[in-house]
Amino acid sequence: MPGKFDLTITTLQHLLDDRDARAIIDEVVPELPHNPMVAFVKGMPVDKLLQMAGDKLPADKVDELRQRIEAL
């Protein structure tokens, strides 16, 4: 059964607005919601952002975030 979010089309803003997804984001990458760059990328699909985050976040954090969000 597919999860609640399709990260290829779900935007970062949508995840930040969702209580469950936000709790995961706050736990795994607590600095993300407060990063000033979020204002510029919040309309982008999360999958694209996770690909771009490769040099900013450790791979294990990217994988954990993806897996936990997809499991919702």
What is the distance between the alpha carbons of residues 17 and 54, in angstroms, rounded to a whole number? 24
Amino acid in the structure at residue 16? L
Contact status, residue 7 vs residue 45, Cβ threshold 8 Å: yes
What is the distance between the alpha carbons of residues 33 and 3, in angstroms, rounded to a whole number? 22
The average pLDDT across 40-61 equals 90
Domain around 40:
12-70
Query: What is the structure's pLDDT at 18?
Result: 97
Contact status, residue 39 vs residue 28, Cβ threshold 8 Å: no
In a domain, 43, yes or no: yes
Domain count for the chain, please give it.
Answer: 1
Give pLDDT tens digits for 12-43: 999 999 999 999 999 999 999 999 989 999 99
What is the distance between the alpha carbons of residues 38 and 71, in angstroms, rounded to a whole number? 23
Percent of the chain with pLDDT over 90: 78
In a domain, 21, yes or no: yes
User: Residue 62: which of 36, 28, 35, 39 has the closest Cα?
Assistant: 28
In a domain, 1, yes or no: no
Mean pLDDT of the chain: 92
In a domain, 4, yes or no: no
In a domain, 44, yes or no: yes
Provide the whole-model pTM: 0.89
Query: What is the structure's pLDDT at 11?
Result: 97
In a domain, 34, yes or no: yes
